[in-house]
Structure 1
Amino acid sequence: MKPALPARLLQTLAPWRNAPAWHIAFSGGLDSTVLLHLLATLAKSETLPPLNAIHVHHGLQAVADAWPIHCQSVCDSLGVPLRVMRVQVQSGASLERAAREARYQAFTEVTGVGEVVLTGQHRDDQAETLLFRLLRGAGVRGLAAMPAHRPLAGGYLARPLLDVSRAELEAYASDHQLKWIDDPSNADPRFSRNYLRHRVIPTLTERWPQAVSNLARTAEHLSEAQALLGELACMDLHAADQPSAFPWLVLPSLDLGPLRELSDARQRNALRHWLTPLTRLPDSDHWASWFSLRDAKADAQPLWRLADGELHRCGERIWWLPSTWSDFSDASVSWSLPQNPLVLPGNGRLEFIGKAPDGPLEVRYRRGGEMLEVPGRGRRDLKRLLNESGLPGFVRGRLPLLYQGEQLLGVPSLAGLWPVASDSWQLHWMPQTCDQGLS
């Protein structure tokens, strides 16, 4: 016989008993109402982190305008503070997905370091998720369905009711005479999950009564398999995650050589793991672009466009460039000293080290044919110098060039790739970093 629901909930939440706060995602529906009531009741006899509820108002239905009032009434009766957050749902092909993204963005905003957002998804939801993703042709990562917990902002998101059936939640709500909101959109079969919930799963359970619990258990098995694939990916990426020749270029990158030694399946597995925090992953049909990038000639500098950026290959190294990398203007910028460093629009900062040349200065970008005075080598073509340096091609058009009138005075020293043009000053460039929006 299973332990009582409160005891199971406490056991599930044991890893976070010392968290600074627990935020309960409170829609006002059955699941979140039971979760809130359970935690508020347990807090009377157990030492729990401070509780508060978060109600996200999507504004998608007129009837939803009354829901915050209901949620406030429930929270007042339980002595739990409530925060109502109004969000804008972006229009697009999937209203369900857009609403979910807006909701989780709101959760991200309220989650402090070490804090936990608790959501009320249950075992039936897990079964629906597995079936939905199976029908979409998802791989192991997708079929692992909803994780019991995952990082969120500086804290965590946890789903402590994933091993609890909807029937158990309904029984608890009935025993405690709880009232909840029935969202009318949950009955609309035009939404895929509703179609599965009301038409497909009842048919399955009529033939296989344990279908829901078996599907949820399958998701657990696949979650374990995904964890093992993650461990394998970390092992494979360890060899490829070597420092580049350009430590000042703060972009995610990998050495291609160690990846080449892996089977195609292990390459895809390692790259999925590496790309997951950077971009939405491509579907199976688009992985051919990875092999085209990998197998291109060394001087081809191919790229692979993904949802949130591009993967570039330069020589035997691959580099991730997020979409924000393209937010860059190559217009000239006047530099009036003593302003130092100079902020370059979308391109980091440029700084003088030493005594700057007299007179008006200007920062420009490459147009072709630039010549640079190199100590000990005379005047040299900048393009040839860049080729000698091995500087990735995607950086070269962003390299700031210092001019006085029509004379090219110098380029950034770039960690000693070539000698600087003057003994009295150096020019240091600090490109955009990940903290400035590159990840």
Structure 2
Amino acid sequence: MKTSLPAKLLQALSPWRNAPAWHIAFSGGLDSTVLLHLLADLANTETLPPLSAVHVHHGLQAAADAWPAHCQSICNALGVPLRVMRVQVQPGASLERAARDARYQAFTEVTGAGQVLLTGQHRDDQAETLLFRLLRGAGVRGLAAIPAQRPLAGGYLVRPLLDVPREALEAYAHEHQLKWIEDPSNADPRFSRNYLRHRVFPALTARWPQAVANLGRTAEHLSEAQGLLDELAQLDLRAAGQPSPFPWLHLPSLALAPLCELSDARQRNALRHWLTPLTRLPDSGHWAGWHSLRDAKGDAQPLWRLADGEVHRCGQRIWWLPTTGSEFSDAAVSWPDPQNPLELPGNGQLKLIGEAPEGPLQIRYRQGGEIIEVPGRGRRDLKRLLNESGLPGFVRGRLPLLYQGQQLLGAPSLAGLWRAPSDDWHLHWMPQTCDQGLS
């Protein structure tokens, strides 16, 4: 027996029935109009979370100026509150991607803790996405195409119509005499997805009528395969996730040795999983940077540059350093009142705990050749002490040093394994957190 569209929608949304709210991404097009109508109709007979609609106005074409009013009239008729959000689309190589980024940033602002944002992508969209990414040479994660659900802000993005063919949505819309917007840009074959939709898929389905359904099923298989790869990555990262010897340095890091025991393919799989929340992933040609970093000599300190930061190797550990707008300054900073914490430009905060030495005091950064007095060991070369401590090289240039005139009095006690220079006081440095990064 064929399941009705409302029953199929309710089944898809059953895990989210207790969410605080459901927001419908409402462009005014066919897909979102059907989704909104279905949910508004179901709310008359079912106990659903509070419904609201969100229309994102990109301002990319003159015709779009009339769409918020159209969406408002539909929502008024259905008794659903509407929020219109105007966004700025950043110029770039791909207008489609820039508009999508702006749209999802707006959705992020709307979706509160535990709330659900619902979008109207359907089975034909899934097939187009799979073929589009296949032609771009995507890996398994990309070929898994559109996920039915994923985290969004503090809640979730859910696509409850992903198993529904477009023709079923059209039939529902005509049956209920719905009116929707036809975006003129959807007919422009210069956009890749439109080219696939209007030129490629008609030819495919003429020869293979089940092409769309079969591609959707392939995406499900690939999504399952990606789930298995994710489970394997979690196992491998657990072995490499042994605690850092510098717990105060709040940056993601991994032990290198457990990774090196894996095959190249498993290394890439584990690193993709680790890097996914941190940066855009490298394409196939950029993995040579990982091999160079991994295979460098033990005393080298190589780095691998990625889109949103760098992976550094220090000894037998790799560290992630995000790119940030925070500018670190290595200029000297006076510390007229060491009883109060000192804010270091782009470098966190420094506290002096205990009885401060006589001033005037100043914070400087390494220039090379520094000598420091270590109780019980005499005057020692700072570079050698840092080498003994194993402190990562990317931190050493940021290490705040306390000077009295030309005399180096001390460095933060957390930076090395040697004793503080005085029992009367010691320095406590709090670097910037991982969210701020170390630029």
**CA displacement at 1:99 relative to structure 2:** 0.7
1:257-296 equivalences under 5 Å are: 257-296=257-296
Contact 2:386 2:416 in 1 (8 A): no
1: CA distance, partners of 2:23 / 2:178: 20
Distance 1:7 1:297, change over 3 A: same
For the structure 1 residues 5 and 296, does the alpha-carbon distance in structure 2 shift closer, same or farther, using more than 3 Å as the test? Answer: same
Contact conserved, 1:369 with 1:383, CA < 8 A, in 2?
yes
For normalisation by structure 2, the TM-score amounts to: 0.97
SS across alignment from 2:311: strand
Q: For 1:205 and 1:211, how far apart are their aligned partners in 2?
A: 6
Instruction: State the shift of 1:78 in Å.
Output: 1.1
Q: Structure 1 stretches of 5 or more lacking a match?
A: none
Superposed CA deviations along residues 36-73 of structure 1, whole A, max 9, x for unmatched, are: 11111111111111111111111111111111111111
Task: Give the match for residue 186 of structure 1.
Answer: 186
Q: Deviations over 1:379-421 (max 9, x none)?
A: 2111111111110101111111122222222111016622111
Look up the match of 1:351.
351
The letter of the residue matching 1:421 is: P
Q: Are residues 326 and 310 of structure 1, via their aligned partners in 2, closer, same or farther at CA, if it must alter by over 3 Å?
A: farther
State the distance in 1 between where 2:375 and 2:350 align.
22
Map 1:154-233; keep pairs closer than 5 Å.
Answer: 154-233=154-233
Q: Deviations over 1:112-162 (max 9, x none)?
A: 111111111110000000000000000100000010001111111111110
Question: CA offset at residue 438 of structure 1?
Answer: 6.8
- TM-score normalized with structure 1 length: 0.97
Q: Could you tell me how far apart the structure 1 residues matched to 2:326 and 2:68 are?
A: 41
Counterpart Cα distance in 2 of 1:338 and 1:66: 62
Q: Deviations over 1:160-188 (max 9, x none)?
A: 11001111111111111111111111111
Q: Distance in 1 between matches of 2:414 and 2:402?
A: 14
Contact 2:119 2:157 in 1 (8 A): yes
Deviation at 1:301, TM superposition (A): 0.8
Cα distance between partner residues in 1 of 2:396 and 2:354: 25
AA aligned opposite 2:66 = A
The one-letter code of the counterpart of 1:385 is L
Q: CA–CA distance in 1 between the matches of 2:196 and 2:339?
A: 62
CA contact (8 A) 2:30 2:170 kept: yes
CA separation of 1:76 and 1:294: change in aligned 2, threshold 3 A: same
Distance 2:100 2:438 in 1: 24
1:425 paired residue number: 425
User: Percent identity over the alignment?
Assistant: 83
Distance 1:329 1:127 in 2: 51
| Maintained 8 Å contact 1:325/1:438 | no
Q: Which amino acid in the other structure matches residue 191 of structure 2? A: F
- Per-residue CA deviations over 1:86-129 (Å, capped at 9, x if unaligned) read 11111111111111111111111121111111111110000000
**Is 2:353–2:428's contact at 8 Å kept on the other side of the alignment?**
yes
| Distance (Å, rounded) in 1 between the aligned partners of 2:85 and 2:426 | 50
Q: 1:6 to 1:437 in 2, by over 3 A?
A: farther
Question: 1:317 matched to which residue of 2?
Answer: 317
Q: Which moved more, 1:299-308 or 1:320-329?
A: 320-329
SS at match of 1:436: coil
Corresponding residue number in structure 2 for 1:94: 94
Matched, 1:15 2:11: no
In structure 2, C-alpha distance between the alignment counterparts of 1:365 and 1:234, rounded to whole Å: 39
**Match of 1:31?**
31
What do residues 183-239 of structure 1 show as CA deviations (whole Å, max 9, x unaligned)?
Answer: 111111111001001001111011111111111110011000000110111111110
Cα contact 2:53–2:82 (8 A) shared by 1: yes
5+ residue gaps, structure 2, are none
- The change in CA–CA distance for 1:351 and 1:325 in structure 2 (over 3 A counts) is farther
C-alpha displacement of 1:339: 6.2
In the TM superposition, what is the alpha-carbon distance from 1:436 to its structure 2 partner? 3.3
2:324 counterpart SS class: helix
Distance 1:152 1:20 in 2: 14
Residues 417 and 213 of structure 1: is their aligned pair in 2 closer, same or farther, counting only changes over 3 Å? same
| Partners of 1:411 and 1:427 within 8 A in 2 | yes
- Structure 2 residue aligned with 1:305: 305
Q: Deviations over 1:245-277 (max 9, x none)?
A: 111111000011111111111111111111100
Distance 1:153 1:24 in 2: 15
Aligned residue in 2 for 1:134? 134
What letter is aligned with 1:148? A
- Equivalent-residue separation in structure 1 for 2:39 and 2:425 (angstroms): 64
Mapped partners of 2:281, 2:269: distance in 1: 11
What displacement does 1:325 show? 8.0
Partner Cα distance (2:141, 2:263) in 1: 19
Question: Aligned pair in 2 of structure 1 residues 255, 338: CA closer, same or farther (>3 Å)?
Answer: closer
Task: Please give the alpha-carbon distance, in whole angstroms, between the structure 2 residues aligned to 1:415 and 1:319.
Answer: 17
Q: CA RMSD in A?
A: 1.5
SS in 1 for 2:55: strand
Residue 256 in structure 1 maps to residue 248 in structure 2: no
| Inter-partner Cα distance in structure 2 for 1:98 and 1:425 | 53
What is aligned with 1:367?
A: 367
> 402-411 or 60-69, which moves further after superposition?
402-411
Q: Do the aligned partners of residues 270 and 57 (structure 1) sit closer, same or farther apart at CA in structure 2, a change above 3 Å counting?
A: same
How many residues align? The count is: 439
Task: Find the aligned partners of 1:339 and 1:94 in 2 and give their Cα distance.
Answer: 54
In the alignment, the residues of structure 2 paired with residue 408 and residue 241 of structure 1 have an alpha-carbon distance, to the nearest angstrom, of 37
Distance 1:286 1:12, change over 3 A: same
CA distances 1:339-363 after superposition (whole Å, capped 9, x unpaired)? 6322222211111212223333222
Cα distance in structure 1, aligned partners of 2:358 and 2:108:
50
Q: What residue number does 1:406 align with? A: 406
Measured in 1, the distance between the counterparts of 2:429 and 2:69 equals 54
Shift of 1:244: 1.0
Q: Which amino acid aligns with 1:336?
A: P
- The amino acid that maps onto 2:141 is R
Contact 1:23–1:54 (CA<8 Å) still a contact in 2?
A: yes
Which letter maps to 1:80? V
